[in-house]
Amino acid sequence: QIIKQIEAGELDLAEVFEQFTTAVEYLNQCQTFLLQRQQQMELLIETLEN
């Protein structure tokens, strides 16, 4: 949704920066979540192998 608003020119420059910051925060949260799940999976696999 953020990208669509930016591409459509619906936001002024300040809003673009604000939305971009929000999008980066969401991306960081997703990366953290995925990294944690990957570590959990690796631990489970290691446990199963032993």
The pTM (predicted TM-score) of the whole model is 0.68
pLDDT for 13: 87
* Residue of 29, 31, 7 whose CA lies nearest to 19: 7
1-50 tens-digit pLDDT: 777 887 888 888 898 899 889 989 999 999 999 999 999 999 999 999 98
Residue 9: per-residue pLDDT:
86
Amino acid at 7: E
* Token representation of residue 35: 């990294």
Residue-level pLDDT at 50: 81
